[in-house]
Amino acid sequence: MGGGRGRGRKRAPALLRQRDAQAGEGRGGHFQAGWGGPQKSGRRCNVQTEESMFEDSWCAKGERAGPESMYPIQVHSPEYSYGCPPPQAWLGGSERLTRKNYMVKNLKRFRKQLEREVGKLEAAKCDFFPKTFELPSDYHLFVEEFRKTPGITWIMKPVARSQGKGIFLFRKLKDIMDWRKDVGRSDDQKDDIPVENYVAQRYIENPYLIGGRKFDLRVYVLVMSYIPLRAWLYRDGFVRFSNTRFTLSSIDDHYVHLTNVAVQKTSPDYDPEKGCKWMIQRFRQYLTSKHGPEMVETLFRDMDNIFIKSLQSVQKVIISDKHCFELYGYDILIDQDLKPWLLEVNASPSLAASSQEDYQLKTCLLEDTLHIVDMEARLTGKEKRVGGFDLMWNDGPVSREEEGIDTAGTGNFVANTHLGCNNDRKKQLRQLFCSFHSQKKVTS
Amino acid sequence: MILKFQVSLQKPEIKLETLKEDIKEFFRITGWEKKLHNAVYSELTVFPLPRHPAAPPEHLKEPLVYMRKAQGSWEKRILKSLNSMCTELSIPLARKRPVVEQKELLNKWNEMGTDEPDLSLFRPVYAPKDFLEVLINLRNPNYENGEHLNFKTHLGLIQVPLKVKYISELKEFFVELSLNTGQLGIDDATQVPPELFENEHVRLGQKVLAEQDSAAAQQYIRQGSPTALRAELWALILNVSNQPEDLLYYEQLKSNVIQHDLLVDSLIYKDVKLTASNDDYYFVFEDYLYQVLLCFSRDTAVLGHFAYNSASPPKSYIRGKLGMEDYAVFYPPNGVIPFHGFSMYVAPLCFLYHEPSKLYQIFREMYVRFFFRLHSISSHHSGIVSLCLLFETLLQTHLPQLFYHLREIGAQPLRISFKWMVRAFSGYLATDQLLLLWDRILGYNSLEILAVLAAAVFAFRAVNLMEVTSLAAAEAVLADLSTLKVMPLLQIFLFATVT
């Protein structure tokens, strides 16, 4: 127990085994990187990471399972007709963002840096992550914080698992004493059992409720490069409802508190026809009719802030490669004061569709991702919008206004994000590619 | 208010000569003048104009005798169905809840959706298609129709000769929807710069709300209501305010629900579970629906609307005293028996109002002004019979080829569009489009726009419909309306179709 556990220890073998297990499950619909052996097809390229946790990084062989058909998306090509290796879908070190403990560390470090360099006000913008402690390494710090605020609920999440597995809530220390004992025992058995790190996070007890139900938002962010940081925000997303009414009195009931669709699918009154999701457009309209447009604008601006700051905090530690891209799924929770909280960032967001609307969203999302990846080199690189993606950050904030008008400093700056807004992507794509076509004709 | 008025009367400045002016001034200052205006306006809108002094009260309900008779026999059928279900399941129409059960219900009040009572034996009392069959068989005895086809037979399903508006009359009636008037639902699209229409319209809306004038709001909303202002605008038009007595009234209804259990409650439960809970948009609001509908069925104030509704509330007699008027009660207390899909009237309102007593009041007002006409037989121009006839006439006049084709393949258009109109399109359109449509219903104080929209939908999908060869295929073409944009469809059909 102690600081040594975090970084230096070679956890690679356990990690590989875990990933293999996941890869074999055939859940379908994950942009899965093949961590495993040569049976996975794809191009190999070497990406060195700081800790040499992985020797190889694979291209993605993505499989999307829609209700109608399955077809694989191969993001690789044997011929390099454009003279450069094709893009890959895993950046080395992306777990800095997506593994919960690393996310916390990086964010804390970034916050300190901001406080030093810019000031307290700017640093306070990073307070969108509920208080989190890594266990077992920060156990004593955690206990100190726990004792300071007795009676509140905490949530324990395994660091590297997904789909709601292994998560539980607790209020008393004795609930995790038993867990701690188990962990202590496995210390002796070293590498036989994969060691799991957990994070203990302060549970947000006053979530915003709609119809008495708790929900969280899933938003998609596409990062084309980290240095310089170029990030795109997709206009669509969805709101996942918990299937039962929210109450703090039954913290053992997973179905109330966890909004992952994966967990909800096993809830006894889950009706797959029903769908516990809303599109973000509907959610935005609902909020506007309830709170007015200004408060909703503020909320969405705060969410933009979450995306940018979280990416900036890991900017320096992720290996940037201009031929790599990553599509993240951000999970955001909104509390009753309309403040957004970052729950987690998913590196391989589920692409399985639970309804026709969902299928629509995910197919269009993937299509637009590939448009931006631009393997046919159709884009000029100066676009601020491609289909449903808006360029959110291009080594600096991107404004909705046209180039040339410097509004960044005047306070009239409006960010170029349209989350929950009208997504007329087909029209936009048509206009975009038509204009290229005519331009090419002119130049050729 | 009276107290304040009396207090101010005691001031020495008040003189007898100027009392009349002072009262007027007082009303104006305290805003009561506006409230009185609104109250009078609302009464005028809701109640029909006084008829000939010699006309009996039934004429207020429904002037045509054959319609009254048809409504009477339809009601008898509904009651029979309800009573037989009652005897089959041996459940009393009403019973007092034991104290234990009362406590339980009170605890669960905010999450009644979690309750899963066994409702498999209950069936809805009737569905829209049963009602359609009744309407199809309506005949005017003074009108020689004969059993055989002749020149006077209507080509559609409705065979009664009611007066409906032509398209030229509709164009005049819906003049604010015309091509050169700004509309929300069209002129607030992303490509249109907001300075053109939207900003000004929003400013105007805020001004209307500040003035608190019902009549102005009703005129304003014909061009659509901005999302943020809609809840208040509707409350202003329907003259619903959140007074403490309203809150108390709602609490009273709630305690009635807790104390007594009605058979109708199970029907409501079943309906919500079958319709709203399975809807992608509205499943979240399940609990609100119970809270509103259960209270609604106990609200005797609703009985007031039967003065101008052709329907009459069903009567039930205390056991053993059948036929004795002294022992008659209305059942359910509000006189309205819910049918399959009834809960969909409430569901879209949950999007706007979150406080149960306000939501309840708005729904009640909407019901006694508009929705009751959609399931009672009458000759009113907004009644469902007229709407059906309007729909069929519009389609026949402007898309004769389509109408003929559908009729030939046995797919009478009304069979498909009936369910849309009965539900005022709730559950068929996307929520934001539905709310834009209901804006216009409030603005024009008429349901005719439902028939126009139904015809516009058929016009929009005419090309596909011309290719189908069966009723089922036609249903399939028109199954999904969730992508439709209501206002452009209406505008094109009314103002841009070549006739």
Q: What is the pLDDT of residues A73-112, one digit of tens each?
A: 323 333 322 333 444 555 555 666 666 667 777 888 888 8
Query: Minimal Cα distance from A281: which residue of B?
Result: B432
**Does A288 contact B at CB distance below 8 Å?**
yes
**Angle at CA of residue A256, ends A103 and B259, nearest 5°:** 155
Written as six digits, the tokens of A189 are 């058995």
* pLDDT at res. B325: 64
Q: Chain B: nearest CA to A288, how far in angstroms?
A: 6
Residues B79 and B33 occupy one common structural domain: no
Q: Considering the domain boundaries, does residue B9 fall inside one?
A: yes
pLDDT of residue B401: 92
Q: Which residue has the higher pLDDT, A270 or B288?
A: B288
Nearest to A211 among B227, B230, B284 (CB): B284
The per-residue b/e assignment along B64-89, b for 16 or more CB within 10 angstroms, e otherwise, is: bebbbebbeebbeebbebbeebeeee
User: B326 lies in a domain?
Assistant: yes
Minimal Cα distance from A428: which residue of B? B191
Grade residue A300 by pLDDT with cuts at 50, 70 and 90. Answer: very high
List of chain A residues whose C-beta atoms are within 8 Å of the C-beta of residue B113: 245
How long, in residues, is chain A? 444
Please give the pLDDT value at position B499: 57
Q: Which residue of B has its CA nearest to A277?
A: B280
Q: Is the pLDDT of residue A121 over 70?
A: yes
Domain range enclosing B341:
64-140+241-374
**Complex confidence, ipTM:** 0.71
Least confident piece of the model among A12-21, A148-157, A428-437, B103-112 = A12-21
Who has greater pLDDT, B147 or A356? A356
Q: Is B286 within 8 Å of A211 when comparing Cβ atoms? A: yes
Quick one: B274 and B335 in the same domain? yes
What pLDDT score was predicted for residue B365? 93
Residue A46 has pLDDT above 60, yes or no: no
Inter-chain residue contact B284 with A210, CB threshold 8 Å? yes
Domain membership flag for residue B20: yes
Q: Are residues B258 and B359 in the same domain?
A: yes
Report CB contact under 8 Å: A278, B230: no
- Tell me the residues of B at the A interface, defined by beta carbons under 8 Å apart: 110-111, 113-114, 116, 189-190, 227-228, 230-231, 277-278, 280-281, 283-288, 350-352, 354, 431-432
pLDDT for position A45? 29
| Residue ranges of chain B whose pLDDT lies below 70 | 1-17, 48-52, 115-116, 145-153, 317-327, 498-499
Q: Binning pLDDT at 50, 70 and 90, where does residue A412 land?
A: low
Which residues on A lie below 8 Å from B277 (Cβ)?
274
Q: How many CA atoms lie within 13 A of B93 on its CB side?
A: 19
Q: Compute the Cα dihedral for A155, A159, A161, A166 and give only its sign.
A: negative
Among B111, B199, B288, pick the best mutation site for testing chain A contact (most A Cβ within 10 A).
B111
Pick from A245, A273, A421: CB nearest B111: A245
Look at residues B343, B374, B405 and tell me which one is the last residue of a structural domain: B374
| CA separation, residue A176 to residues A142, A147, A169, A255, A354 (Å) | 12, 14, 10, 21, 35
Radius of gyration, alpha carbons of chain B: 24
Q: Domains, chain A, ranges and CATH?
A: 212-400+413-441 (3.30.470.20)
- pLDDT at position B416, please? 94
Out of A153-162, A185-194, B274-283, B427-436, which region has the weakest mean confidence (pLDDT)? A185-194
- The answer to whether A289 contacts B351, with C-beta atoms less than 8 Å apart, is yes
Contacts of B190 in chain A (CB under 8 A): 421-422, 424
Q: B114 CA to chain A: closest CA distance, Å?
A: 8
- Contact A274/B283, CB-based, under 8 Å? yes
* Structure confidence at residue B36 (pLDDT): 76
A127-141, A405-419, B147-161, B174-188: which is most confident: B174-188
Q: Best of B112, B283, B429 to disrupt the A interface by mutation (most A CBs within 10 Å)?
A: B283
Residue A403: pLDDT band (50, 70, 90) is low
* B251 and B338 part of one domain: yes
- Do B246 and B313 lie in one domain? The reply is yes
Range of weakest confidence among A20-29, A206-215, B8-17: A20-29
Do B126 and B247 share a domain, yes or no? Answer: yes
Question: What is residue A347's predicted lDDT score, i.e. its pLDDT?
Answer: 82
Q: How far is A205 from chain B (nearest CA, A)?
A: 19
Q: What is the pLDDT of residue A44?
A: 31
The number of distinct structural domains making up chain B is 2
Separation in Å, CA A231 to CA A30, A113, B61, B338, B440? 21, 22, 65, 53, 42
Q: In terms of CA atoms, which chain B residue is nearest residue A274?
A: B278
**Chain B touched by A241 (CB under 8 Å):** yes
Contact between A211 and B228 using a beta-carbon 8 Å cutoff: no
Least confident of A168-177, A306-315, B436-445: A168-177
Higher pLDDT, A20 or B344: B344
Count how many Cα atoms sit within 13 Å of the Cα of residue B292 in the half-sphere of its side chain: 31
Residue contact A271–B280, C-beta within 8 A: no
Q: Nearest-CA residue of chain B relative to A355?
A: B280
A421 at interface of B, judged by CB pairs closer than 8 A: yes
Q: For A369-397, what is the mean pLDDT? A: 85
Given a contact cutoff of 8 angstroms between Cβ atoms, the answer to whether B446 and B155 are in contact is no
Same domain, B356 and B254: yes
- What pLDDT is attached to residue B370? 93
Nearest chain B residue (CA) to A270: B278
Establish if B498 belongs to a structural domain.
no
Across the interface, do B432 and A285 touch by the CB < 8 Å criterion?
yes
At residue A19, does pLDDT exceed 50? Answer: no
- Name the β-bridge partners of A56: A46
Is B71 in the same domain as B13? no
Computed over every residue of chain A, the mean pLDDT equals 68
Strands A60-65 and A70-74: antiparallel
Cα pseudo-dihedral A327, A332, A338, A339, rounded to 10:
-90
B281 is a domain residue: yes
Contacts of B352 in chain A (CB under 8 A): 289
Report, as an integer, the average pLDDT of A128-155. 81
Q: Report pLDDT for B270.
A: 87
B205: in domain: no
User: Quick check: bond before B53 cis, omega within 30?
Assistant: no
Q: What is the pLDDT of residue B326?
A: 65
Between A437 and A366, the more confident residue is: A366
Tokens representing B50 are 């006084």
CB contact under 8 A, B278 and A293: no
Q: Kindly list the residues from chain B whose CB atom is less than 8 angstroms away from the CB atom of residue A293.
A: 227-228
* Whether residues B262 and B348 fall in one domain: yes
> Which chain B residue lies closest to A247 (C-alpha atoms)?
B111
Comparing CB atoms, the residue among A245, A273, A293 nearest residue B228 is A293
Task: Indicate whether B2 and B100 sit together in one domain.
Answer: no
Q: Where are the alpha helices (DSSP H) in B174-243?
A: 198-211, 214-220, 230-237
Residue of B nearest to A213 (CA): B284
**Amino acid sitting at position B226:** P
How many interchain CB pairs under 8 A, A with B?
56
B495: in domain: no
**Do residue B275 and residue B318 come from a single domain?**
yes
Residue of B nearest to A292 (CA): B228
Question: Domain ends where: B358, B374, B390?
Answer: B374
Query: Which among B374, B405, B439 is the end of a domain?
Result: B374
Which of B294, B312, B293 lies closest to B303, judged by CA? B312
pTM check: above 0.80 = no
Q: Are residues B16 and B73 in the same domain?
A: no
Q: Residue B196 has which token pair?
A: 């053109």
In a domain? residue B389: no
- Predicted confidence at residue A232, as pLDDT, reads 92
The two three-digit tokens of residue B361, written as one number: 């009041």
